[in-house]
Structure 1
């Protein structure tokens, strides 16, 4: 049995989905590596372990995630890129971690997700395992304190409707032979360390892909350090699924 934590990145011209695959017996090892990195972030730059890591904000210098004003002032863009790289190096320490990135020319994440699930199904079948997917998304409203019962119910129903394309990608698999089990489990990144980890890797994969396929995003400038960070995980890329660590979906 494997768990797969998934998040997306990209821009209007194309989207990237990245999944972190971990066998059930390696789950605690991955968490140990990640939390060790979080402790280093707090010790080095004052970023607390419970602060949400969002790669786009981190690398672009947005927000003030540190504990004190002086630490935030010292947390410059080079320091933030170094912090991102540190977390990639921590993930690379987990021997059983595997990474699958799928991308294509589309504005719809759900379209890439369908191809992502198909590739994951093929890999799981070849490796005689089952996979449960955790995907970045809200399962419902964060706080219903100020909502009426009817308003809260509508928020929940909307969240369920928004997840339909992702459920369909699972349910379209042959029932008797499928290895990707259940519907995707929606997890809010604010409360999931591994969804945050998937976000960090997906953002790095996107910049790595921009260097490989500059024609897709001609007006955007990739951050070379992100490509380097993604290549730190090259020993963990799924063999046979894409080149340069990304499986490109042809139009």
Structure 2
């Protein structure tokens, strides 16, 4: 007979996966985190929609499915992912390809997105501390949301795991009550299609918030392609 102290805890309804990347710069004062999320049982179908879009990018722009879509380098023309030199040289083609990718995220029912940001006058190490503090606030917010839904969550980040502030945000939570499990799991964006989605979301949201005159072409991309699938209805300031 099972004694009360050994009664298994109720199983959560799902595990939710969050793929997160950052954008912003100390000279603009913005710190931005963007993410794409999906329940673990929808991972195959969510990824399949993106891979189908990558096939379309190859058909239209000769950008191989394995080529990394990195927003800053791709839109700015500092990377040449297409096998067609004319596409690499065309701002119009690069911007259209970027919008094709964003539209795919927004049109995939399995995917949700989110954006958290803050504005600061800090620079240097102080800016890095602001970035870490915003990440901590984001993790706390996701943890509360998961708990309210009876879910568990895992966070995947772009990078190599050298940013200690990300670990601290997870390890500072009380184990008995936390719903974000494990440390952040790091993957390089060139190896993860979902991390690439997060990069595009973070960059696009940053441009929508900053509204730099030189990036006017991207000001409306968030509203056009992403706002409808934002789980918070819009960027949250934290």
Shorter-chain TM-score: which interval? Answer: 0.7 to 0.9
- Where 2:17 maps in the other structure, the secondary structure is strand
Show the counterpart of 2:123.
none
Show the counterpart of 1:9.
23
Instruction: Tell me, yes or no, if structure 1 residue 27 matches structure 2 residue 43.
Output: yes
Q: Residues of 2 paired with 1:85 and 1:163: CA distance?
A: 31
Instruction: Tell me, yes or no, if structure 1 residue 72 matches structure 2 residue 88.
Output: yes
Structure 1 residue 71 displacement after superposition: 4.1
1:160-175 → structure 2 map (5 Å cutoff): 162-175=162-175
Instruction: Tell me, yes or no, if structure 1 residue 99 matches structure 2 residue 113.
Output: yes
Q: Residues of 1 paired with 2:68 and 2:226: CA distance?
A: 22
Instruction: Tell me, yes or no, if structure 1 residue 110 matches structure 2 residue 132.
Output: yes
- Where 2:182 maps in the other structure, the secondary structure is strand
Show the counterpart of 1:235.
228
1:32-43 → structure 2 map (5 Å cutoff): 32-43=48-59
Range that drifts further, 197-206 or 25-34: 25-34
Gaps of 5+ in 2: 1-14, 121-126
Q: Residues of 2 paired with 1:8 and 1:193: CA distance?
A: 16
Show the counterpart of 2:235.
246
Q: Residues of 2 paired with 1:92 and 1:191: CA distance?
A: 22
Show the counterpart of 1:155.
none
1:95-174 → structure 2 map (5 Å cutoff): 95-106=109-120, 107-108=127-128, 109-139=131-161, 162-174=162-174
Structure 1 residue 229 displacement after superposition: 2.3
Select the residue among 75, 78, 98 that pairs with 1:62.
Answer: 78
Instruction: Tell me, yes or no, if structure 1 residue 90 matches structure 2 residue 82.
Output: no
Show the counterpart of 1:196.
196
Question: What TM-score results when the alignment is normalised by the length of structure 1?
Answer: 0.80
Would the aligned equivalents of 1:30 and 1:97 in 2 still touch at CA under 8 Å?
yes
Q: Residues of 2 paired with 1:246 and 1:207: CA distance?
A: 12
Q: Residues of 1 paired with 2:23 and 2:116: CA distance?
A: 11
- Where 1:223 maps in the other structure, the secondary structure is helix
Would the aligned equivalents of 1:210 and 1:222 in 2 still touch at CA under 8 Å?
no
Structure 1 residue 172 displacement after superposition: 1.0
Instruction: Tell me, yes or no, if structure 1 residue 185 matches structure 2 residue 207.
Output: no
Q: Residues of 2 paired with 1:68 and 1:199: CA distance?
A: 24
Would the aligned equivalents of 1:205 and 1:226 in 2 still touch at CA under 8 Å?
no
Gaps of 5+ in 1: 140-161, 212-219
Q: Residues of 2 paired with 1:32 and 1:179: CA distance?
A: 27
Q: 1:200 to 1:80 in 2, by over 3 A?
A: same
Would the aligned equivalents of 2:57 and 2:64 in 1 still touch at CA under 8 Å?
yes
Q: Residues of 1 paired with 2:84 and 2:142: CA distance?
A: 42
